[in-house]
């Protein structure tokens, strides 16, 4: 539950090849206050999606940036499902939920479609914990997908 006693809700998004403006428009459409970057390696060929850049331009636009890639990032030896049983993963989920209880939070990776990203595993885990997970795909298009 969040502060107002409602079911906890977390959004997801893939940055893909969007412009800063298009990306911000999607976050604003859902009144996102915190972006939790869950990329193991928070860099990109697209300059504005590098961690150092996002740490600058997101707060300039009223959105907090937090990197949780150490705890929740993909590319795990032994696979992501195995990683989900670790203390590190559970610590990351705890941090994420603490943030989401206070502010509207969106987790981000690179892949636009969550079914091709480790966000699908994290989403399913969160759903089993009673969290409503909403996947932002495009403007006006957000879905509750079950994985």
3-state helix, strand, coil in the chain (%, to 5): 40, 20, 40
In this structure, the number of other CB atoms found within 10 A of the CB of residue 84 comes to 18
Pick the CATH number of 9-143 from 3.40.50.1000, 3.40.1010.10, 3.90.550.10, 3.40.50.150: 3.40.1010.10
DSSP state string for 30-72: TT--EEEE--SS---SSGGGSHHHHHHHHHHTT-EEEE-HHHH
Closest CA to 96 of 129, 47, 120: 129
Number of H helices, E strands in the chain: 6, 6
CB-based contacts of 10, cutoff 8 Å, min separation 6: 96, 100, 105, 106, 107, 126, 131, 132, 133, 134
The model's pTM is 0.92
- 58-61 contacts: CB < 8 A, separation 24 or more? 61/24
Residue 10 pairs in a beta bridge with 105, 133
What is the domain partition of the chain in residue ranges?
9-143
Along the 147 residues of the chain, how does pLDDT read in single tens digits?
A: 666 677 899 999 999 999 999 999 999 999 999 999 999 999 999 999 999 999 999 999 999 999 999 999 998 888 999 999 999 999 999 999 999 999 999 999 999 999 999 999 999 999 999 999 999 998 877 777 665
């Amino acid at each position: 539950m969040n502060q107002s006693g409602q079911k906890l809700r977390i959004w997801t998004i893939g940055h893909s090849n969007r412009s800063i403006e298009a990306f911000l428009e999607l976050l604003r459409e859902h009144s996102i206050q915190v972006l939790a970057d869950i990329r193991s390696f928070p860099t990109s060929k697209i300059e504005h999606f590098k961690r150092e850049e996002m740490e600058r331009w997101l707060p300039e636009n009223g959105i907090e940036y937090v990197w949780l890639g150490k705890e929740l990032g993909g590319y795990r030896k032994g696979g992501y499902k195995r990683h989900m049983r670790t203390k590190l993963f559970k610590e990351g989920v705890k941090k994420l939920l603490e943030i989401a209880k206070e502010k509207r939070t969106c987790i981000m990776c690179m892949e636009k479609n969550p079914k091709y990203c480790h966000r699908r595993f994290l989403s399913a885990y969160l759903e089993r914990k009673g969290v409503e997970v909403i996947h932002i795909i495009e403007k006006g298009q957000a879905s509750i997908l079950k994985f």
